[in-house]
Amino acid sequence: MIQNPDPQTFSGAVIGADVGATLVKLAIRTQHGRTRLQLASTQAIEEVARDIESAGPERVGITGGGAPELAQLLSFDTTRADEFEAWRRGAREILQEDASHRADRYLLVSLGTGTSAMLVEGETVTRLGGTALGGGTLMGLGAALVETTSFDELVALARKGDRRRVDLLVSDIYRSGEAPLPDDLSASSFGKLAHSASETRPSPTPADLAHAIVGLVAENVALICNGLAAAAQVQQIVFAGSTLRTNAPMVEILGFVAATGGHEVVFLENGEFSGALGALAIAAA
């Protein structure tokens, strides 16, 4: 929800909203040029709409799958922003703050409930592909295997776990150096669960399972993106999205696997707000 949705505070403001399957990402820029970033649950979209109404912004740009629903809940006209163009603009704004990672051509990866990979070339953006693996997969498997429906609880568990007790690794099949792959890369996600526990292979804990869930999603997303980047002859892969928020285990695995493909890996700070920032920029133009 918008904190202190006071018309005096937001008079002349422009709001960008990215309405996803799970979260509403809001970027609020006041007439003084200050930008506030906020998250809300998509299940509370009616409350979000009331807060936007009461704030009385000058313009509102909306994007994402839930954009039509939010537009219907508002009594004034909004600017509908193409989702991929909004992501391109928002990511560019964040990247411009760090000259070391600035590039004209890169693969932009949005890791939300699912995952989309976009080729950014200057002022154009094209979706190259994606996967149904994403934050929705984390939450679904988390509910089934470790009995939690809380994203924060699942990530906290994963931080304490070791997926090597769950996943069959390259090093479990080949001696070190025999395969042209890193020893710690998974040969089969959850592969060790097919074998009974023994003194040398203890039963995995819920934390180990949580870490393996994160690894399953992160490794496969990274491998898919490596292939897309190679096909497009792109060196830099830029990862962003709400699934990465406070998710150090996923960032670590994504970075490791993507780097094995020889790519420069960038994680956008506040990258989950790329779409909202882009929608704001489109509305303000």
Report whether 275 contacts 92 (CB < 8 A).
no
| 213 found inside a domain | yes
**232/153 same-domain check:** yes
**162/72 same-domain check:** no
| 111 found inside a domain | no
Instruction: State the total domains in the chain.
Output: 2
Q: What is the CATH number of the domain that holds 25?
A: 3.30.420.40
Q: What is the pLDDT at residue 103?
A: 78
**152/228 same-domain check:** yes
**The domain boundary residue, chosen from 37, 60, 80:** 80
Q: What is the pTM of this model?
A: 0.90
| 38 found inside a domain | yes
The rounded distance, in Å, linking the Cα atoms of 30 and 16 is 12
Which domain covers residue 139, as residue numbers? 135-269
**172/247 same-domain check:** yes
> Is residue 123 classed exposed, middle or buried when 0-12, 13-18 and 19+ CB atoms within 10 A define those classes?
exposed
**156/242 same-domain check:** yes
Q: What is the pLDDT at residue 285?
A: 86
**25/147 same-domain check:** no
**45/157 same-domain check:** no
**The domain boundary residue, chosen from 80, 102, 126:** 80
Is residue 272 part of the annotated active site? The answer reads: no
| 280 found inside a domain | no
Q: What is the pLDDT at residue 2?
A: 62
| 129 found inside a domain | no
Question: Strands (DSSP E) along 173-268, which ranges?
Answer: 186-188, 236-240, 264-267
Scanning the structure block, which residue is given the tokens 């509102």? 60
| 170 found inside a domain | yes
Q: What is the pLDDT at residue 187?
A: 86
Report whether 119 contacts 126 (CB < 8 A).
yes
Catalytic residue selected from 83, 85, 219, 272: 83
Q: What is the pLDDT at residue 12?
A: 75
Q: What is the pLDDT at residue 206?
A: 97
**The domain boundary residue, chosen from 39, 58, 80:** 80
Kindly write down the DSSP assignment for every residue of 19-85, as one continuous string.
E-SSEEEEEEE-TTS-EEEEEEEGGGHHHHHHHHHHH--SEEEEESTTHHHHHHH-SS--EE--HHH
Positive/negative CA dihedral, 130, 132, 136, 137? negative
**26/146 same-domain check:** no
Q: Which of 283, 285, 263, 282 is nearest to 88 (CA)?
A: 282
- For residue 128, the surrounding DSSP H or E stretch is strand 124-131
Per-residue pLDDT of the chain (285 residues; tens, 9 = 90+): 566 555 555 667 899 999 999 999 999 998 888 899 999 999 999 999 999 998 889 999 999 999 999 999 999 999 999 999 999 999 999 998 776 667 789 999 999 999 999 999 999 999 999 999 999 999 999 999 999 999 999 999 999 999 999 999 888 887 776 667 777 778 899 999 887 555 566 789 999 999 999 999 999 999 999 999 999 999 999 999 999 999 999 999 999 999 988 999 999 999 999 999 999 999 998
Q: Which of 216, 281, 229 is nearest to 260 (CA)?
A: 229
**148/74 same-domain check:** no
**68/163 same-domain check:** no
Q: Which amino acid does the sequence have at 266? A: V
